[in-house]
């Protein structure tokens, strides 16, 4: 018979468990929003924002990009 559905779709090449990092980011953001006050709250929230961005970059690092159009135009060109 034919190939399975998941074989025809580009699968992730680098499997990473990201849920602990996302959970740590959420706890840090909650700490900054609900527990701390003033400048400390702002600093912790800013660090949480940077941590969320860093976790996203770490999760996508090394992935294959199927982008035939290139540049800012985007697209998959299938």
Predicted confidence (pLDDT) per residue in 51-60, tens digit: 999 999 888 8
Report the SS3 class of residue 40. helix
Q: pLDDT-derived band of residue 65, with 50, 70 and 90 as boundaries?
A: low
Predicted confidence (pLDDT) per residue in 5-40, tens digit: 444 555 555 667 888 999 999 999 999 999 999 999
**Rounded Cα distance, 54 and 50, in Å:** 6
Show the DSSP H helices in the chain as ranges. 5-8, 19-30, 39-60
Domain ranges, ordered by start, for the chain: 16-61
Q: What is the pLDDT of residue 61?
A: 82
**What integer is the mean pLDDT of 57-69?**
72
Q: What is the pLDDT of residue 15?
A: 65
């Amino acid at each position: 018979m034919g190939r399975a559905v998941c074989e025809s779709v580009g699968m992730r090449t680098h499997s990473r468990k990201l849920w602990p990092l996302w959970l740590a980011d959420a706890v840090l953001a909650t700490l900054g929003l609900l527990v701390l006050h003033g400048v400390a709250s702002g600093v912790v929230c800013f660090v949480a924002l940077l941590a969320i961005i860093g976790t996203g970059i770490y999760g996508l690092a090394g992935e294959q990009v199927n982008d035939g159009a290139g540049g800012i135009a985007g697209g998959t060109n299938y």
